[in-house]
Structure 1
Amino acid sequence: MTTDTSSTLQRGLKSRHIRFIALGSAIGTGLFYGSSESIKTAGPGVLLAYLIGGAAVFLVLRSLGEMAVSSPSAGSFGEYATKYLGKLPGFLTGWTYALEMIVVCLADITALGLYMGFWFPDVPRWIWLLAAVAVIGVMNLFSVKVFGELEFWLSFAKIVAIVAMILGGFAILVFGIGGDSGASISNLWDHGGFLPNGVEGLVLSFAVVMFAFGGTEIIGVTAGEAQNPEKTIPQAVNSIPVRIMLFYVLTLAVLMSLDPWKHIGSEGSPFVEIFAGLGVTAAAGVLNLVVIIAALSAINSDIFAAGRIMYGMAERGQAPKVMRKVSRNGVPTMTVGIMIGALLLGVVLNYLMPERIFLVIASIATFATVWVWLMILLSQVSARRKMTPEEVAELKYPAPFWPYGQIITIVFMAGVVVLLAFSEDSRIALIVGGVWLALMTSVFYLFVRPGLRRAEAVAGETADAAPSAEPVKAAPRA
């Protein structure tokens, strides 16, 4: 497929595409597999953690929506941070988001291998991952319209499956399908209470819970390719509370009612494990297919987002120019290739260390995700402080609860980063995150800033050399 640096991204995403792309990134491994880790940490009280975390993420997205509607951009996070916080924060935000998407893809593809083990336990995990990389790579080389349509149907399948699972769970609870299974809503408080591990367990669960919400910020990235950002972005953001209630809280409440929270393991998706344990093998098989589709959908969305964010950075001189290459269909092929390379790295890691890889990767993804959310909040706060009262009044989609909601959310996000230090498996995320930020800061000062200064100098000289638009008046005679 030919590429051209003069081509640009295309505005081919409709409202339904954007809403479902956000769903595709948010409803994936964090819910279908990662929820088992958060349930083991907090017990049924994890429902409260998802509500609190979801409220914080909603405010982040409203802050992002305020900026995205005012100034739609394909490289939104890095561009907003550059504009309102400075060039270094913008550079770090853009590249940390790219890191987030890479690491989340690694987590998703790791979970995909675990799901395939439900049907083919004797087949090495890496074989399935390699096949998935090939399929996803082809999917991301189509035009943005084709991508949006494909992601719409993948996400639609997930939503239908989750709703069917909730209804099926209610049927088991009400009509006792599955015999003497012990399914009862009282499972939410009978096995050690609603908070069996106390407030400490609830607090520690946020380190995994917030990973589940990672990817919702892709709404901002899609603004650059949305046909009507002023309409589509608010619609997508406003649907977040309903999604949190339905796809996280209600789903997990049904799940933990069907089987006591202590029985949930981490050998596969807890959704599949519970229905298989209840003897509803047909439902378990269907759900396993759904979680595989969910993983593919999430990876697909993440590759899309990372490609667009790196394209935007290349346009601002914060990434190599080669990342500006796009195909005739408007696809940034070079950045898609980089993400495919990262997925191949995931195949190798799953071959070398299959046991601990998911929790380690999820922790690193949480660090990168929360960093990006913090930068979004700080960018919006800085932007608001520079506005006059008249400019604030003209905002078409202002973030609510200003400024106290933003301050509380910033403190909450910083606290989630600190929580990563309290677990041996997640502590590595702080080390990797610190090294990453130090490395990228060095890259900025050594390579990026000198290039930006040269570009600014050339632009200044060109402006000085340009003829004046106004005619030169003759000097008055003495």
Structure 2
Amino acid sequence: MSTMTAPSEKPTGTTQPKRRGLTHRHIHFIALGSAIGTGLFYGSAGAIQAAGPSVLLVYLLGGAVVYFMLRALGEMSVRNPMRGSFAVYCRKYLGGWGGYITGWMFAFEMMIVCLADLTAIGIYMKFWFPDTAAWVWIAVTLLIIGAANLATVRWFGELEFVFTIIKVTAVVAMILGGAAILVFNLGQQPEMTGISNLWNDGGFFPNGVEGMIASFILVLFAFGGTEIIGVAGAEAEDPERSIPQAVNTVPARILLFYVLAISIILILNPWRTITGEESPFVQIFNTLGVNWAAGLLNFVVITAALSAINADLFGTGRVLTGLAKEGLAPKKMAKTYRDVPVMTIVSLLAVLVIGVFINAKYPDVFETIAALATFATVFVWLMILLAQVAMRKQMTPEEQNALKFAVPFWPYGQWFAIAFILCTFGIMAWLPDFRLALGIGVAFTVIMTLLYFTTRRDKAIEVAESA
């Protein structure tokens, strides 16, 4: 069970050590799997439509932001290991409100992402069952994921391990298969393939710089959830070893699973033909007449969505349970059974039932949900980055030199990532399609802030710190 202890580095006399159920193997594969989800398998279609081939630059920029954010989280975790999540560090270095709003925004982010993944599953299943309503598959998904999350922490880790093996194998196979199609001119329309697809149809920037900027929202959505490393690390048997090694794999994962995979997709098919009616990964093989591969990849992208919902529910449950233990969430959410926050997970599943009704009434809601999830995602990243910057300002030069897992390019990398996130908020205000999502995100922040003070949550922080 992940708890959010008071920031004091001395454990209280009544606190008992909690069992940790995730091994180094689990943490490594959770980190690996967090980079491969609905945002890549489905959301990449919208990003490609907006930017054309220039979306590759956006994936590189977004990946750099993710890397600096995770290195900030890793630096704090290794210097001062704490049970709980990154919200603990935000509270320690940014104050009570910082930890409170980060925890609740992460929960908000994960629930929105789950709704996006549920929406995607309904779309994926139309590949095999075009006449079945999407809400049927969403309801089945909730039953499967609910059962998985109500099991022990180790069972969660094993399930994510299997899901990640499937996803990684599929992406690597797609890259190798795509290369084979290019080399041996396979498929029904080999004349449509070629590296010239990257510039033939309107150039590398077919929709101009504005189109590339518009793709930022969906690209950042694809990276959402990578911060779950900081939550899962609290359940690790050896977090000081597991977290740095997991974080250090981020650059290679971004280059392989995003840049190289999307490059293959763009080379195999002209970017305008990637419509978003199905996963671009599936569409590639379907268009080329390799139907058995398309069916197999559709199974994989469904697995990816299941994996994402499973991990998101895991992370949200533990963050909210930690908040509840500090009086920052309803007390019932603090109750656990076999290290599983049962009441929290049941409550979250009840919230996700909303997804069934949303998809029944608004089947084309994916991009709106993705934009809202992006707001919450980059808000959490911003708070993590600001917490690490605040920690550094409190340290002496000797303490900074003694850091075992210091962020690279300090402080330029951190300021680049912070500036990029602030620009993302500006893009949401600039582009009409994203203003609704921005408004909802700001409203959530304001409402939760008002609740923080009107319900005297700030006093709960003082009680926790004095305990």
Shift of 1:423: 3.1
Shift of 1:453: 6.7
Corresponding residue number in structure 2 for 1:114: 123
Q: 1:425 aligns with which of 433, 448, 464?
A: 433
SS of structure 2 residue aligned to 1:379: helix
Q: Does 1:143 align with 2:152?
A: yes
C-alpha distance in structure 2 between counterparts of 1:16 and 1:137, whole Å: 23
Superposed, 1:141-290 pairs within 5 Å as 141-181=150-190, 182-290=192-300
SS of structure 1 residue aligned to 2:340: coil
SS of structure 2 residue aligned to 1:435: helix
CA spacing shift, 1:7–1:138, aligned 2, 3 Å: farther
Q: Which has the larger displacement, 307-316 or 136-145? A: 307-316
CA contact (8 A) 1:208 1:363 kept: yes
Superposed, 1:41-190 pairs within 5 Å as 41-181=50-190, 182-190=192-200
C-alpha distance in structure 2 between counterparts of 1:294 and 1:170, whole Å: 23
Structure-1-length-normalised TM-score: 0.92
- Give the partner amino acid of 2:317: G
CA contact (8 A) 1:22 1:215 kept: no
Shift of 1:424: 3.0
- Give the partner amino acid of 1:276: N
C-alpha distance in structure 1 between counterparts of 2:16 and 2:153, whole Å: 14
Q: Which has the larger displacement, 186-195 or 362-371? A: 186-195
C-alpha distance in structure 1 between counterparts of 2:346 and 2:168, whole Å: 29
C-alpha distance in structure 2 between counterparts of 1:453 and 1:154, whole Å: 38
CA spacing shift, 1:53–1:453, aligned 2, 3 Å: closer
Corresponding residue number in structure 2 for 1:449: 457
C-alpha distance in structure 2 between counterparts of 1:447 and 1:71, whole Å: 30
The total of aligned residue pairs comes to 453
CA contact (8 A) 1:9 1:326 kept: no
Shift of 1:71: 2.6
Structure-2-length-normalised TM-score: 0.94
CA spacing shift, 1:454–1:228, aligned 2, 3 Å: closer
C-alpha distance in structure 2 between counterparts of 1:456 and 1:126, whole Å: 43
C-alpha distance in structure 2 between counterparts of 1:454 and 1:180, whole Å: 67
C-alpha distance in structure 1 between counterparts of 2:139 and 2:271, whole Å: 34
C-alpha distance in structure 2 between counterparts of 1:113 and 1:352, whole Å: 13
Corresponding residue number in structure 2 for 1:331: 340
Q: Which has the larger displacement, 122-131 or 69-78? A: 69-78
CA spacing shift, 1:107–1:207, aligned 2, 3 Å: same
Corresponding residue number in structure 2 for 1:17: 26
- Give the partner amino acid of 2:106: Y
C-alpha distance in structure 2 between counterparts of 1:71 and 1:453, whole Å: 20
Shift of 1:299: 0.5
- Give the partner amino acid of 1:247: F
Q: Which has the larger displacement, 15-24 or 103-112? A: 15-24
C-alpha distance in structure 2 between counterparts of 1:93 and 1:189, whole Å: 42
CA contact (8 A) 1:10 1:144 kept: no
- 1:121-162 CA-to-partner distances (Å, cap 9, x unmatched) read 000000010001000000111111111111011111000011
Shift of 1:176: 0.7
C-alpha distance in structure 1 between counterparts of 2:171 and 2:462, whole Å: 53
- 1:144-186 CA-to-partner distances (Å, cap 9, x unmatched) read 1111111011111000011001111011101011143311121
Q: Which has the larger displacement, 264-273 or 96-105? A: 264-273
Alignment RMSD (CA, Å)? 1.7
- 1:215-246 CA-to-partner distances (Å, cap 9, x unmatched) read 10111111211111111001100000011001
C-alpha distance in structure 1 between counterparts of 2:347 and 2:47, whole Å: 31
Shift of 1:450: 5.8
C-alpha distance in structure 1 between counterparts of 2:147 and 2:210, whole Å: 45
C-alpha distance in structure 2 between counterparts of 1:77 and 1:313, whole Å: 12
Q: Which has the larger displacement, 19-28 or 199-208? A: 19-28
CA contact (8 A) 1:317 1:448 kept: no
C-alpha distance in structure 2 between counterparts of 1:26 and 1:338, whole Å: 27
Superposed, 1:300-339 pairs within 5 Å as 300-328=310-338, 330-339=339-348
SS of structure 2 residue aligned to 1:26: coil
C-alpha distance in structure 2 between counterparts of 1:7 and 1:296, whole Å: 34
CA contact (8 A) 2:124 2:279 kept: yes
- 1:337-383 CA-to-partner distances (Å, cap 9, x unmatched) read 1221222111110011112x111110110000000000000000000
Corresponding residue number in structure 2 for 1:31: 40
Shift of 1:25: 2.9
Q: Does 1:401 align with 2:409?
A: yes
CA contact (8 A) 2:35 2:254 kept: no
CA contact (8 A) 1:72 1:223 kept: no
Q: How much identity, in percent, do the aligned residues show?
A: 54
Corresponding residue number in structure 2 for 1:365: 373
SS of structure 1 residue aligned to 2:150: coil
- Give the partner amino acid of 1:338: S
Q: 1:297 aligns with which of 307, 313, 319?
A: 307
- Give the partner amino acid of 2:420: F
Shift of 1:454: 7.3
CA contact (8 A) 1:106 1:342 kept: no
SS of structure 1 residue aligned to 2:455: helix
CA contact (8 A) 1:73 1:221 kept: no
CA contact (8 A) 2:429 2:438 kept: yes
Shift of 1:320: 1.9
SS of structure 2 residue aligned to 1:327: coil
CA spacing shift, 1:444–1:291, aligned 2, 3 Å: same
Provide structure 2 residue ranges, at least 5 long, that are not aligned to the other structure. Answer: 1-13
